[in-house]
């Protein structure tokens, strides 16, 4: 008798509390899931605005911010005709820029110039297609002035981020597309996947 | 009220879309991470993602530098970690028209690894940087001027060979960086930078401004965290979850004063005015003043003064009016240099009675938020109240959009001015800063030949923008009969942009740093706007072949002196200045023989010639190549750091035997008064004891300097994985867990009843 009433009392306190915990946890779960979705949505949506701003850049020859409070602006379009993929690259490769598109690493060369132009993007959004790239694939890069340069993929490699072997002043006109590796990992790691290409004159 | 709204060309989305996107973004940035953090209590999964996001915020780019900082290169390209700053001393000697400043600072490499340090510091844009000395650990390094690429190559070579080296470069006209290679673990660096700046004179008040190179940032939380990260020197790894003690660290450091003992600053100005001194005032700081004689005072920063903004000292002559003429001379090599200040007389009766057509442009972008917006509104309100009914005016406000209050300028009757004052009063600070379109709109002059009005543009902004050159080009191309007056708002307006815009627009630059200054400063500005301008100025040295700057003399406003620097063929003859005050011709002749001896005039002359070349290339009167060639010659001859030249120093031959401790005589620097030599250099003696046999080899080989690599520089790659999957996975797991929990709850509830 005493034992039963004890169980009743504790249940009356314990169950609503547990329910609250479950509801709060569910909210967190939703929020977290939403954040994940948001990262992808942002990456997709931004490209539409970037496309528009980049067209205007080509027309006017001046940098155009894709939205007024942006701290970066589109500088190039990268096309992979065989895969039907295209992406607008942004000035700089800060975390903020990479959320919206591939970043043109600041100290690297401009497309079509001597040296190495380096573009980096996330492996799960803009550069997810890099896993399907093959040697001899065509990569087209259109710069701010509207000029398009054709590059041919010469190879791929996996390197550590701090031993990239990329020399931005290397001889020839080179292009590197970089993303994180391995593609399917859930956590970020030190390895990077590089697609090396050189200009087709 | 019916405002004409001009949307920017590419803004084809309605404004509310932008607003709601921004709101979603804000929620995403502020609210969701907090929820995610709380969720981290349930699941350890998202913790890593949060940590790396926090780590990002501790790194900064060069553009984010607001005060002098020692930046350590991080593993992320183009980003730096702020290092601990130790102590700063600013020693200035003002003699007549010039100020010679020497900034000495001691920094510590707090990490256990070898680092390359980048020290970035803002300076007045007209200052001439010409000297660098540095003691890095046991090395004494003196800088030489070289062409920029050459200097860079020398520096890189030394760096690769493990030698200590330093490089001073101009990054922006008012921002310099000093790189130091191969600083050992826990070594201290003493940096000494010499520069000259001209004294300003306006309305009988002389002034000197020193950017405070070690002002603590207003953003306290990242500062605390960056100390955390710099402890391991490489920029990664130590950002263990910073959030648990966020409450603890945020509240106390909200007041930047609490950081003062960590970064002590001392300032000493020896003021030799050259005339009997009247009032000497520090505008923003508490100072102690010692009078040596009636012409000389020594001003020091009071102990409790906190250096969180530029130091500005003003002084006036005892008999209230500044001398109408000041003439100084310096002999360098076989050349003579002269600097002349000539203040035209104020003629009250001959006012230019033409009415004015004024376009006010006010910045209401987000960066103006808070006291800046209030100051701008108060300033513009004051200006509107000063208009006369014969004047015409218009008001343009802008953020990333813009509105013109009226289609064209309208008569300043009471109805229009009260409409404008209401419009200004309702402005709110928000949005981005897009300055080009409103500037063009203001310069757009529908009646370019109209002579019955004086056309003036008053532009109020903090100048927080990146496309400075475009703005300057617009002014140069479209100024016509308009005069552009820049009003800089806030404690750190972009002085380079303001000065240059006013120079190109033949107006003036007024800086308003605090609310109390609004009335005084705007009254000064209006006195300029309303009083006769001295125009058509011509200056001539009788000795003939004098190289004078500025080449074309600006218009002068009430109380402003004409400042001329020149390289003279011979220090004899006269200087004659002619012009029109209102409609009255005016002429003044000064004999050169009686000029007083000044110091650093040649460097100031060269700095201004360099500035002239930049203006000419902006105006298109000379090509960029010609300008570059000219700048390079001047810079090399006078030892100045410019965008084409840098100071470089490499420590090739150690001046001291390995086993001898560093003594005072080894240091060709004058340590500032009050600095304890043993405290400054004691650290090395201790370190030496740890390392048994000390010396160069020891320093070079005991631990591998991180940057000794002979392979071509490798580009570090940014982080390119999002945590989207991680978050979605974690979110799903938590959802599942909570569903299970609910199910269990219901079941146990049913069992109980």
What are B366's two structure tokens?
């987000």
Q: What global pTM score does this model have?
A: 0.55
Are B370 and B310 members of one domain?
A: no
CA distance B234 to chain A (A): 11
As for how many domains chain B has, the answer is 3
> Range of B753's domain?
723-753
What are B592's two structure tokens?
């050169």
**Among B130, B122, B109, B233, CA closest to B180:** B109
CB A107 within 8 A of CB A91: no
The residues, ordered by sequence, that sit 6+ positions from B744 with a Cβ below 8 Å of its Cβ are A18
- CATH of residue A95: 2.40.260.10
From B60, which residue of chain A is nearest by alpha-carbon distance?
Answer: A94
- The predicted structure's pLDDT at residue B42: 39
| Mean pLDDT over the full length of chain A | 84
DSSP B678-691: HHHHHHHHHHHHHT
- CATH of residue B213: 2.60.40
DSSP B306-353: --SS-EEEEEEETTSSPPSEEEEEEEETTEEEEEEEE-PPP-STT---
What are B751's two structure tokens?
């069992």
Residue A138 domain flag: yes
CA distance A201 to chain B (A): 25
From A23, which residue of chain B is nearest by alpha-carbon distance?
Answer: B738
**Distance between CA atoms of A49 and A55, rounded to whole angstroms?**
10
**Among B329, B411, B252, CA closest to B599:** B329
Residue B421 domain flag: yes
Are B741 and A21 a contacting pair at CB < 8 A? yes
Residue A156 domain flag: yes
CB A150 within 8 A of CB A200: yes
Specify the long-range contacts of residues B688-696, CB closer than 8 Å, at least 24 apart: B688/B661, B693/B658, B693/B659, B694/B658, B694/B659, B695/B658, B695/B659, B696/B654, B696/B658
**Among B599, B644, B613, CA closest to B550:** B613
Residue A1 domain flag: no
Are B451 and B382 members of one domain?
A: yes
Q: Which of B18, B48, B721 sits opposite A122 (nearest CB)?
A: B721
Are B714 and A162 a contacting pair at CB < 8 A? yes
Chain A residues whose CB is inside 8 A of the B61 CB are 94
CA distance A133 to chain B (A): 18
Are A164 and B714 a contacting pair at CB < 8 A? yes
Are B146 and B295 members of one domain?
A: yes
DSSP B27-92: IIIIIHHHHHHHHHTT-STTHHHHHHHHHHHH-B-GGG--S-EEEEE-SSTT-EEEPPEEEEEEEE
Q: Which of B36, B56, B720 sits opposite A123 (nearest CB)?
A: B720
From A19, which residue of chain B is nearest by alpha-carbon distance?
Answer: B742
Chain B residues whose CB is inside 8 A of the A162 CB are 75, 714, 716
Chain A residues whose CB is inside 8 A of the B739 CB are 22, 26
- The predicted structure's pLDDT at residue B411: 92
> Pick from B483, B515, B547: which residue ends a domain?
B515
Q: Which of B18, B724, B737 sits opposite A124 (nearest CB)?
A: B724
CB B229 within 8 A of CB B75: no
As for how many domains chain A has, the answer is 1
What are B485's two structure tokens?
């007056």
> Range of A96's domain?
38-199
Residue B20 domain flag: no
Are B416 and B369 members of one domain?
A: yes
What are B70's two structure tokens?
């020692």
pLDDT in tens, A50-103: 888 898 888 887 888 888 777 788 999 999 999 989 999 988 877 677 888 899
Residue A33 domain flag: no
Chain A residues whose CB is inside 8 A of the B728 CB are 32-33, 36-37
Residue appearing with tokens 């033409």: B354
Residue B674 domain flag: no
Residues of chain A with pLDDT under 70: 1-12, 95
CB B460 within 8 A of CB B376: yes
Chain A residues whose CB is inside 8 A of the B36 CB are 28, 31-32, 35
Are B48 and A68 a contacting pair at CB < 8 A? no
Residues of chain B with pLDDT under 50: 1-13, 29-33, 35-58, 75, 84-85, 213-262, 349, 653-712
Q: Is A139 helix (H, G, I), strand (E, B) or coil?
A: strand
**Distance between CA atoms of B318 and B320, rounded to whole angstroms?**
5
Residue B393: which region, alpha, beta or left (left: phi > 0; alpha: psi -120 to 50)?
A: beta
- The predicted structure's pLDDT at residue B361: 94
Are B85 and B225 members of one domain?
A: yes
Distances, alpha carbon B405 to alpha carbons A137, B585, B723, in Å:
56, 40, 48
User: How many contacts does A have with B, using Cβ atoms within 8 A?
Assistant: 218
- The predicted structure's pLDDT at residue B201: 79
Positive or negative: CA dihedral B4, B8, B9, B11: negative
- The predicted structure's pLDDT at residue A138: 93
pLDDT in tens, A56-70: 888 887 888 888 777
Are B507 and B395 members of one domain?
A: yes
């Amino acid at each position: 008798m005493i034992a039963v009433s004890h169980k009743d009392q504790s249940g009356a306190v314990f169950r609503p509390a547990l329910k609250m915990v479950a509801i709060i946890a569910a909210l967190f779960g939703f929020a977290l899931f939403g954040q994940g979705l948001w990262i992808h949505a942002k990456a997709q949506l931004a490209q539409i605005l970037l496309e528009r701003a980049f067209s205007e850049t080509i027309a006017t020859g001046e940098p155009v911010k894709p939205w007024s409070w942006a701290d970066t602006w589109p500088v190039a379009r990268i096309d992979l005709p065989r895969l039907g993929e295209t992406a607008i690259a942004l000035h700089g490769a800060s975390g903020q820029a990479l959320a919206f598109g591939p970043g043109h690493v600041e100290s690297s060369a401009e497309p079509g110039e001597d040296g190495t132009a380096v573009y980096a993007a996330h492996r799960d959004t803009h550069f997810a297609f890099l896993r399907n790239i093959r040697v001899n694939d065509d990569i087209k890069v259109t710069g701010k002035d509207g000029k398009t340069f054709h590059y041919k993929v010469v190879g791929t490699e996996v390197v550590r981020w701090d031993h990239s072997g990329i020399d931005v002043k290397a001889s020839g006109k080179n292009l590197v597309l970089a993303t994180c590796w391995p593609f399917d990992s859930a956590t970020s790691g030190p390895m990077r996947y590089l697609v090396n290409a050189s200009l087709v004159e | 009220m019916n405002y004409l709204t001009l949307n920017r060309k590419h803004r084809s989305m309605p404004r509310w879309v932008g607003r709601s996107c921004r709101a979603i973004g804000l929620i995403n940035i502020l609210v969701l991470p907090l929820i995610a953090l709380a969720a981290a209590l349930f699941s350890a999964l998202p913790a890593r993602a949060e940590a790396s996001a926090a780590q990002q915020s501790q790194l900064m780019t060069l553009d984010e530098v607001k005060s002098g900082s020692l930046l350590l290169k991080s593993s992320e390209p183009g980003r730096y970690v702020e290092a601990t700053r130790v102590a700063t001393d600013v020693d200035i000697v003002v003699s007549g028209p010039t100020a010679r400043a020497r900034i000495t600072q001691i920094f510590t490499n707090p990490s256990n690894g070898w680092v390359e340090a980048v020290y970035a510091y803002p300076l007045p844009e007209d200052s001439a940087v010409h000297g660098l000395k540095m003691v890095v650990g046991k090395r004494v390094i003196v800088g030489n001027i070289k062409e920029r690429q050459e200097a860079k190559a020398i520096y890189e070579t030394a760096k690769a060979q493990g030698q200590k080296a330093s490089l001073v470069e101009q990054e922006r006209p008012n921002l310099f960086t000093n790189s130091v290679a191969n600083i050992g673990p826990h070594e201290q660096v003493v940096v000494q930078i010499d520069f000259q700046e001209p004294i300003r004179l306006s309305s009988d008040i002389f002034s000197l401004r020193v950017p405070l190179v070690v002002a603590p940032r207003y953003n306290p939380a990242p500062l605390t965290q960056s100390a955390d990260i710099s402890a391991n020197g490489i920029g990664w790894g130590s950002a263990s979850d910073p959030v648990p003690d966020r409450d603890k660290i945020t509240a106390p450091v909200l007041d930047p004063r609490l950081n003062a003992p960590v970064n002590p600053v001392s300032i000493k100005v020896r003021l030799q005015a050259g005339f009997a001194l009247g009032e000497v005032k520090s505008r923003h700081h508490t100072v102690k003043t010692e009078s040596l004689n009636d012409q000389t005072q020594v001003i020091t920063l009071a102990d409790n003064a906190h250096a969180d903004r530029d130091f500005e000292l003003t002084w006036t002559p005892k008999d209230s009016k500044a001398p109408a003429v000041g003439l100084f001379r310096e002999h360098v090599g076989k050349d003579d240099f002269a600097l002349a200040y000539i203040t035209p007389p104020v003629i009250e009766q001959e006012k230019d009675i033409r009415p004015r057509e004024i376009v006010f442009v006010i910045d209401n972008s987000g960066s103006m938020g808070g006291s800046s917006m209030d100051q701008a509104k108060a300033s513009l309100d004051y200006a509107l109240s000063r208009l006369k009914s014969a004047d015409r005016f218009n008001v343009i406000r802008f953020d990333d959009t813009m509105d013109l209050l009226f289609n064209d300028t309208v008569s300043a009757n009471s109805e229009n001015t009260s409409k404008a004052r209401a419009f200004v009063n309702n402005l709110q600070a928000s949005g981005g800063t897009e300055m080009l379109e409103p500037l063009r709109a203001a310069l757009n002059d529908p009646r370019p030949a109209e002579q019955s009005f004086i056309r003036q543009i008053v532009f109020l902004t903090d100048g927080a923008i990146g496309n400075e050159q475009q703005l300057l080009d617009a002014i140069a191309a479209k100024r016509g009969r308009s005069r552009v007056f820049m009003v800089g708002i806030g404690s750190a307006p972009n002085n380079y942009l303001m000065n240059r815009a006013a120079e190109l627009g033949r107006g003036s630059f007024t800086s308003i740093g605090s609310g109390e200054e609004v009335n005084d400063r705007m009254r000064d500005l209006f006195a300029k706007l309303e009083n006769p301008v001295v125009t058509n100025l011509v200056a001539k040295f009788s000795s003939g072949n004098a190289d004078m700057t500025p080449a074309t003399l600006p218009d002068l406003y009430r109380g402003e002196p004409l400042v001329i620097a020149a390289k003279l063929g011979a220090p004899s003859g006269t200087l004659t200045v002619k012009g029109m005050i209102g409609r009255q011709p005016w002429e003044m002749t000064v004999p050169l023989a009686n000029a007083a001896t000044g110091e650093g005039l040649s460097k100031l002359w060269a700095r201004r010639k360099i500035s002239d070349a930049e203006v000419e290339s902006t105006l298109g009167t000379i090509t960029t190549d010609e300008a570059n060639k000219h700048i390079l010659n001047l810079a090399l001859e006078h030892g100045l750091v410019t965008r084409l030249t840098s100071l470089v120093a490499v420590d090739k031959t150690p001046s001291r035997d390995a086993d001898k401790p560093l003594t005072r005589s080894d240091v060709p620097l004058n340590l500032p008064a009050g600095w304890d030599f043993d405290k400054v250099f004691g650290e090395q003696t201790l370190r030496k004891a740890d390392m048994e046999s000390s010396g160069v080899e020891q320093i070079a080989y005991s631990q591998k300097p991180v940057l000794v690599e002979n392979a071509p520089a490798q580009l570090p790659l940014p982080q390119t994985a999002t945590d989207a999957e991680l978050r979605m996975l974690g979110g799903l797991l938590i959802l599942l867990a909570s569903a299970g929990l609910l199910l269990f709850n219901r079941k146990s509830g049913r069992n109980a009843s």
